[in-house]
Amino acid sequence: MIKATDLQKRLIFLLMAFLLLFHRITLITGAQAPVYRSVKTDSMKIALTFDDGPHPRQTERILSILAEYELRATFFMVGVNVRNYPDAARAVAAAGHEIGNHTFSHRHLRNLNGQELFEELKQCENAIEEICDCRPSLFRPPEGAINSFVEDCSVKGEYRVILWSLDTRDWERKNTEQIVKCVLSNVKPGDIILMHDYIGYNSRTPEALAILLPELLKRGFEPVTVSELLEG
């Protein structure tokens, strides 16, 4: 006959084993993948991010504007563009900006299975490592699409998923003033701001950035990389 104390010990052991197993399964399925849209902060830090590049001309223009104010940003690069425009990609890394993974071919992730998504991440990672000599630790899914596969692959690849809290919609705004107004009317400390250095038409992002930066600095904001914002 099992004594009450022995039964209690066994129940405690089984409960602990279950909790450990549940924790392991949770990590494997990606449920614990960290996803960031903004950061709570007492400082005036914000993060400027640029998606879909590098671009053979627009990226260089954006880098020049950032250099004028000695600021660093985060560029979420598409692997195929890294390979097509390696000089532009290297210029981003050489200027000390942060580089994130934005998949290899910018496919809509909800249409992919886990293995296909993992390959998209890995191919982009390989391109960035080969050409920029750095291993990205941040991942931004195209269009901000999140599902269990995205979270699972993020955990396996040791990535932090970065979305945004302020979308400039520069990809659809051909008017510089619209982009500027969108940011200045809504920006707040801890924001992650979404912009693009590769747009299919004549982008107004560089012109908007040239207006935004001095005004943001005048208002006391401190643009930093995403990792600096998260650490701050």
Within 13 Å and on the Cβ side, how many CA atoms surround 49?
31
Residue found under tokens 């992919």: 112
Reading the block at residue 224, the tokens are 């930093």
Distance CA 80, CA 126 (A): 11
CB distance 182 to 216 below 8 Å: no
Helices and strands of the chain, counted as H and E runs:
9, 9
List the catalytic residue out of 55, 97, 106, 196: 196
- At residue 140, the 3 state secondary structure works out as coil
Q: How far apart are CA 218 and CA 232, in angstroms?
A: 21
Task: Indicate if 51 belongs to the active site.
Answer: yes
Catalytic residue among 42, 51, 52, 197: 51
CB 113 within 8 A of CB 75: no
Q: What is the 3-state secondary structure (H, E, C) of 82-130?
A: HHHCHHHHHHHHHCCCEEEECCCCCCCHHHCCHHHHHHHHHHHHHHHHH
Catalytic residue list contains 170: no
Contact call for residues 227 and 137 (beta carbons, < 8 A): yes
Residues designated as active site: 51, 196
